[in-house]
Amino acid sequence: MSPLTPDQRATLLPALHGWQPCPPRDALRKVLVFEDFNAAWGFMSRVALAAERMDHHPEWCNVWNRVEIVLTTHDAGGLSMRDVELARCIDRYAEEAGARTA
């Protein structure tokens, strides 16, 4: 797995709504807020199953109805297409769960 090129970054990253850089790392971060703990946990379960299928796992933290997610590809030394694909998947599941970006 290789890191994103400058051209890929310029094209792909702006299309990932609500994802922010996570300095000093080459990573993306997003915080989602759900209706309650059950909604947050259900979302995390769906993402966990997808991440396992993709063999690419997020760094995350859950406190009641909030889920903080950090994406980076350790093997690539930073952001890769795996992160973009997982971010898109996360965004679909978050929308279906009625989450909002914090």
Side-chain half-sphere exposure of 56, counting CA atoms within 13 A? 21
Give me the torsion for CA of 4, 23, 88, 50, rounded to 10°.
100
**For 59, left (φ over 0), alpha (ψ -120 to 50), or beta?**
beta
Q: What's the pLDDT score for residue 59?
A: 98
Q: What is the pTM of this model?
A: 0.96
pLDDT per residue rounded down to tens, the chain (102 residues): 899 999 999 999 999 999 999 999 999 999 999 999 999 999 999 999 999 999 999 999 999 999 999 999 999 999 999 999 999 999 999 999 999 999
Q: What's the pLDDT score for residue 1?
A: 86
Local structure of residue 98 (DSSP, 8 states)? T
- One of 3.50.50.60, 3.30.1360.20, 1.10.3860.10, 3.40.50.1010 is the CATH number of 27-101, namely 3.30.1360.20
In order of 9, 33, 51, 65, 91, the CA distances from 3 in angstroms are 10, 29, 19, 32, 21
